[in-house]
Amino acid sequence: MASRAFLLAILALALSQALAADPNPLQDFCVADENSNLFINGLVCKDPKLAKAEDFFLSGLDKPGNAENKVGSNVTLVNAAALPGLNTLGISIARIDYAPYGLNPLHTHPRATEILTVIEGTLLVGFVTSNPNNKLFFKALHVGDVFVFPMGLIHFQFNFGKTPAVAIAALSSQNPGLVVIADAVFGSNPPISDDVLTKSFQVDKEIIEELKAQFKKAY
């Protein structure tokens, strides 16, 4: 009897994980109320009678983002905060611009799977599986190619061409979240202890201090 209860508990846990995603809407739409002061898991809906076509519309993804920065890339994200009509629909989109040899650094989306389509240039993309294998899946992409990054896994995109590149990404959450690995580890606030970092990366403290200096932010 105890073993049966244990198996049922494991099954319930597995099902809860399988169903973990943005909740399905219970009405046609739930336009985000940008003026609400309420804090909930998501965004508050405004009265559907007040919805208008503009709530579901956004222009500007045809315009290049400024990729003149340290890593040589720029992400223009369209989520529910930018496009109120996306609220509760479980999807968002982004335009990513890459300078020649530009990189969208190692990062994760804790709440979304990403599907990327190259519309200009060439990209080397990849993701790393979780422990214990940490296997790298990577591919060179050209115009019209599509690649999928599973939810929560570390991934990257690198423009290995001499000309700019552009990609469009669709994400399976209205708010996919973003954790840039280097920023989070070496630029946290307050900083992670050097003892933790030196032991984690198996390097000298001087190297950790040099890395921290690259990602130090003004808070």
**Per-residue pLDDT averaged across 45-55, rounded?**
94
Q: Is pLDDT of 187 > 70? A: yes
Band the pLDDT of 96: cuts 50, 70, 90.
very high
pLDDT value, residue 3: 53
Q: Is pLDDT of 195 > 90? A: yes
Whose CA is closest to 90, among 42, 36, 48?
A: 42
Q: What is the pLDDT of residues 4-35, one digit of tens each?
A: 554 444 444 444 444 456 777 767 878 888 88
What is the biggest distance separating any 2 CA atoms in the chain, rounded to whole angstroms? Answer: 66
- Distance CA(20)–CA(8), nearest Å, equals 18
User: Angle formed by the axes of helices 194-201 and 205-215, to 10°?
Assistant: 110
Higher pLDDT, 161 or 217: 161
pLDDT value, residue 89: 92
Question: Taking phi first (over 0 means left), then psi (-120 to 50 degrees means alpha), and beta for anything else, what does residue 204 get?
Answer: beta
Q: Is pLDDT of 203 > 90? A: yes
What pTM, to 2 d.p., does this model score? 0.84
- Distance CA(219)–CA(189), nearest Å, equals 8
The domains of the chain, with CATH numbers, are: 64-180 (2.60.120.10), 187-215 (no CATH)
- Distance CA(33)–CA(83), nearest Å, equals 11
pLDDT value, residue 24: 73
Question: Do the Cβ atoms of 98 and 121 come closer than 8 Å?
Answer: yes
The pairing of strands 146-149 and 114-120 is antiparallel
pLDDT value, residue 29: 79
pLDDT value, residue 26: 66
Higher pLDDT, 39 or 218: 39
Which tokens is 150 given? 């599973």
Main-chain phi, psi angles of 120, to 5 degrees: -160, 135
Main-chain phi, psi angles of 171, to 5 degrees: -125, 140
Q: Is pLDDT of 54 > 60? A: yes
Q: What is the pLDDT of residues 97-151, one digit of tens each?
A: 999 999 999 999 999 999 999 999 999 999 999 999 999 999 999 999 999 999 9
